[in-house]
Amino acid sequence: MASLGHEVVGVDVDADKVAALTSGQPPFFEPGLSELLVKGQDLGSLEFTTDVSRVADARIHFVCVGTPQKPGEFAADVTYVDAAVDSLVPHLTSTSVVVGKSTVPVGTAERLAAVLAPTGASVMWNPEFLREGHAVEDTLHPNRLVYGVADGAAGEQATAGLDEVYATMLDEETPRLVTDFATAELVKTAANSFLATKISFINAMAELCEASGADVTQLADAIGMDDRIGRKFLNAGLGFGGGCLPKDIRAFMARAGELGADQAVAFLREIDSINMRRRVRMVDIARDTLAGSFIGKKITVLGAAFKPNSDDVRDSPALAVARLIATQGGVVTVTDPQAIGNAAKAFPELNYAADASQALAGADAVLLLTEWQEYRDLNPVATASLVAGKVLIDGRNVLTPEVWRSAGWTYRALGRP
């Protein structure tokens, strides 16, 4: 927002994050973000603070806090959203617009509009569709803008305010859909549910490929050539993780249940199960290739983040597999270009190596679980000289089987012969 010419104040309750951001360091790895933080602060149009009263001059207030899964439940925890909105209340006037970006259960905006009514501020729900690892690009060049607004003057005021913020995007003819609160909230959960469904669909086909000897990557290429289906998000493998898709489909089921519409999204339970089964299948394949036991075997896991270009290890399929193998007696060493710090904090019981060559030294089997470019580029001949056993299991279907097999490797994958 600052790089687009707006004056921006970022508020967080966490003083360490504020200090890091002020020094130009995002508290997580995101390509291109650090440069923007420095640029915004050099321009004098971006500052970070823990002092919420600094928002008093602002017209537009974005609420961007997390809505994680509640421990032991499917539902989303919206307490951070509520706390952020409560902290704004003393600083709002009738010209203020509060814009929710967080992914919330449908009905939240309506509820918050009632909380904010005494201030005269208007409320809008403007869901966020950015992908980790592409956050800067997706934010500056979104493929659509969705505004959920109230009826009448309050909605018009909110729409006009946000149009000013997004003027450069609207100039680029980014489609803009203005709708009611509930639809805007549902757009986000429906979109993520659809993406999760697409991934689990192709992973279900991978199970059938495994049972029949077919190749899921060719199947995905062939069905993806039909424009109505499309090839994107049809990459079979270890399945989805992260802080969004898994918890969003669960929160959607929980909210649908509260609304008496649980049957409508009951299929998401199956989407979740297919996804979780891939992790177990990965472990089974690895154990099979090691003659039925991990005990005393050295296993190298390439990748800890839930996806490449991120250091996020929330619900990481790679770490779930690493932990399962460790509990079955394998000596697991994990490496990742960015996520080792976060992984070691979350799971100190695993071994970590600073880079791939250290992690590969003496391995009995190598598992490629997060498809960072440097792992896709591994040379089978050079890699063979580091390991003890030439066994590679490609959990993301990103390597060329013939290339590895002709270099003497036992190559296995999910959904491919």
Between 312 and 364, name the residue whose CB sits nearer to ligand UGA: 312
Phi and psi for 113 in degrees, rounded to 5? Answer: -60, -35
Please list every residue from 99 through 118 that binds ligand UGA, using CB under 6 A: 103
Structure tokens given for 247 = 């918890």
126 part of the interface to ligand UGA, by CB under 6 A: no
Q: Which amino acid, 264?
A: A
The arrangement of strands across the sheet holding 298-302 comes to 351-352, 331-335, 298-302, 365-368, 391-394, 410-413
Annotate each residue in 46-85 with x if it binds ligand UGA (CB under 6 A) or - if it does not, as one string: ----------------------------------------
For residue 240, state whether it binds ligand UGA (rule: CB under 6 A): yes
- Of 239, 303, 330, 401, the residue at the interface with ligand UGA (CB under 6 A) is 239
The length of the chain, given as a count of residues: 417
35/163 Cα distance (integer angstroms):
26
6 scored as a contact of ligand UGA (CB under 6 A): no
- Quick one: 154 or 249, whose CB is closer to ligand UGA? 249
Minimum distance, C-beta of residue 246 to ligand UGA, in the bound complex (Å): 9
Q: Work out whether 384 is an interface residue with ligand UGA (CB under 6 A).
A: no
Distance, CA of 244 to CA of 315 (rounded, Å) = 9
Q: How far is the CB of 127 from ligand UGA (least distance, A)?
A: 8
| From candidates 195, 350, 366, 368, binder to ligand UGA by CB under 6 A | 195
Rounded CA-CA distance 298/330 in Å is 6
Element (H, E) at 62: strand 60-63
- Which residue type occupies 151? D
Cα separation, 156 vs 250, whole angstroms: 34
Residue 234 has φ and ψ, to the nearest 5°, of -115, 30
Is 192 a residue that touches ligand UGA (CB under 6 A)? yes
Helix, strand, coil tally for the chain in percent (to 5): 45, 15, 40
Shortest Å, Cβ 118 to ligand UGA? 31
Q: What is the rounded distance in angstroms from the CA atom of residue 49 to the CA atom of residue 55?
A: 10
Torsion over CA: 130, 132, 134, 136 (sign) = positive
Q: Which of 2, 81, 145, 199 binds ligand UGA (CB under 6 A)?
A: 199
CA distances for 307 relative to 22, 44, 166, 389, angstroms: 27, 34, 29, 26
Q: Which of 247, 297, 307, 323 binds ligand UGA (CB under 6 A)?
A: 307
- How many positions of this chain bind ligand UGA (CB under 6 A)? 21
Q: Does 245 bind ligand UGA (CB under 6 A)?
A: yes
Which residues in 156-185 contact ligand UGA (CB under 6 A)?
none
Cα 301 to Cα 367: distance, rounded to the nearest angstrom: 5
User: Considering the rule CB under 6 A, would residue 130 count as an interface residue with ligand UGA?
Assistant: yes
* Nearest in space to 187 (alpha carbons), one of 100, 266, 122, 114: 100
Active site residue 244: yes
Q: Which is nearer to ligand UGA, 155 or 242 (CB)?
A: 242
Q: Does 28 bind ligand UGA (CB under 6 A)?
A: no
- Residues 217, 375 contacting (CB under 8 angstroms): no
Q: How many CB atoms neighbour CB 16 within 10 A? A: 9
Return the range that interacts with ligand UGA (CB under 6 A); candidates 148-156, 234-242, 320-328, 378-386.
234-242
| Shortest distance, position 315 Cβ to ligand UGA, whole Å | 8
Q: Which stretch binds ligand UGA (CB under 6 A): 83-91, 170-178, 232-240, 385-393?
A: 232-240
Q: Please say which residue, 157 or 309, places its beta carbon nearer to ligand UGA.
A: 309
Annotated catalytic residue, options 85, 154, 244, 368: 244
Candidate residues 10, 148, 161, 241; the one interacting with ligand UGA per rule CB under 6 A = 241
Active centre residues (catalytic): 244
Q: Which residues of this protein are in contact with ligand UGA, per CB under 6 A?
A: 103, 128-132, 192, 195, 199, 233-235, 237, 239-242, 244-245, 306-307
